[in-house]
Amino acid sequence: MTKSEEIKLKRWDSPTKYYKHSSHATYNLTWHCVWITKYRRKVINESMKLRLETIIRWVCKENYVIVVWLGFEEDHVHCLLSFPITTYIPDMFKLLKWRTSKVIREEYSEHLKEYYRWRWSKHLWAVWYFFCSVWKVDEDIVKRYIEQQWEQDARWKEIEI
C-alpha cells in the first residue's frame, strides 16, 4: 500500500468512530465542561467523587449524552461529554448541577455543614460553569489535561503534545 493510499484510508476510516448520525444530520458535539463548588470550597472527598460519577453517568444516560471522560478535584468537576444534536447545552448543565447538588446535599449533609453555613445549605455549586467544544484532535489533549492537572510534575508545566 502506498503512502497516499494509507493516508486516504486513515482519513475515511476514522470518521465512523467519532461521528454520530440522526435521520438528517451527521455530527460530533463533544464538550469540555467544568463547574465549581460554591465559594470554591474544597468539599469533594473520595466517596463523594464516586457518588458524583454515578449521578452524572445516570443523568447523562437518561438524556442520551455520552460520558467520554470524568475528572474530579476537591473544588470542581471536569467532564468531557458528547451531546446529541437535539440537546440544549445550558439546560443539560442546569440539570446536571441540580441533580448532583440535590443528591449530594441530602447524602452528605453532615460533611457539608463543616464548609457551608445553614443559609447556603441549598447550594453546592456556584452559578458559574465553563464549556467549550472539543474536536477529536483536542480530546486527547483535554484528557491529558484532566489527568495531569494536579500532579506535582505537571502542575506548573504546559501539557506536552
- pLDDT tens per residue, range 93-130: 899 999 999 999 999 988 998 888 766 567 899 998 89
pTM of the entire structure?
0.74
pLDDT digits (tens, 9 = 90+) for 12-67: 344 446 678 888 888 888 899 999 999 999 999 999 999 999 999 999 999 999 99
- The enclosing H or E element of 18 equals helix 15-18
Domain borders along the chain are 27-148
Dmax (CA) for the chain in angstroms is: 69
Cell of 114: 463543616
Pick the CATH number of 27-148 from 3.30.70.1290, 3.30.70.1710, 3.40.50.970, 3.40.449.10: 3.30.70.1290
